Each structure stands twice: as structure tokens, then as C-alpha cells.
Amino acid sequence: MSRARLNLFIQSEHAKRLNELAITKGVSKSSIIAAALASWLSPESGEQREVAMAKRLDRLSSQFERLERDQHILIETVALYVRYYLTVSTPIPEAHQEAARSQGKLRFSQFVEQLGRHLQRGRSLVKDVHEEVQAEAQVSGERP
């Protein structure tokens, strides 16, 4: 098989990595370039790229669906909390408002601390709720 000589210019980082790969694999740089070019130009390479792209799109779709689910859970949680809070909260008499503000600041501080601990553990309340709902649905034979 005849071979054609080419003088190519590539980025210095690529040249460095090519040299390291040739040394590691114990092959010539020309053979690595020839294999890469053959792979790129083969009819199957287009299909392989398409399959790889489809896998990436599927993974992105799954991530988007999880984000959408988590956002929906968050919206519903906040909405239910607001409805509950507005329906059960009684007005605070003027004489007790300062004490209520003080108590509210303390509770908020405790909430932030608890949230920090929860996040440091790497758990997600949304994930916990989703797992609980799935477990309950499996026990009752329903779909979550």
C-alpha cells in the first residue's frame, strides 16, 4: 500500500498528547493519526457519532425530566405550605408582635442551620419525598 506524506499543523497541546500516547502505547504517531483518520472517515463512524449523540440526548432528557419533577414538587410544597399557613395562622395581638418577631428570627436561624446540616449530608428533601412516595405506591400497587 502506498502512503502519502503530509505536513500538518496541530495545536501544541494535541502534539504533546499525541506524543505521550505514542510512547505509552509503543506505536508511531503516524499509526495513531492513520487509525484516527480511518475511524473518522469510515461510514460506521457517522453511525457511532449518531448513537453517542442519541445517548447524550437521552441522558439530558432524563436529567431535564428529574429537574422538572423536582421543580413541580417544590412548587406544590410551597403552595401547600402557603395555603396551610394562611388558613391556620391567627393574627398576633399588638402587644405580642415583638416577641413573635424575636421567636420568628430564632426559628429562621434554626431552620437555616438545619438546612445547612441537611445539605452537608448530601441528601435532598425532594429526593427523600420522591422515594417515600414511590415506596408507598409500590406497597399499595399504584403508580407514583
Is the whole-model pTM more than 0.75? no
As averages over each run of 10 residues, the pLDDT of the chain (144 residues) reads 85 95 94 88 79 93 93 88 87 92 93 86 79 85 63
CA atoms of 77 and 31, how far apart (whole Å): 60
CA pseudo-torsion sign 91, 92, 98, 104: negative
pLDDT at 85: 86
pLDDT at 1: 66
pLDDT at 87: 87
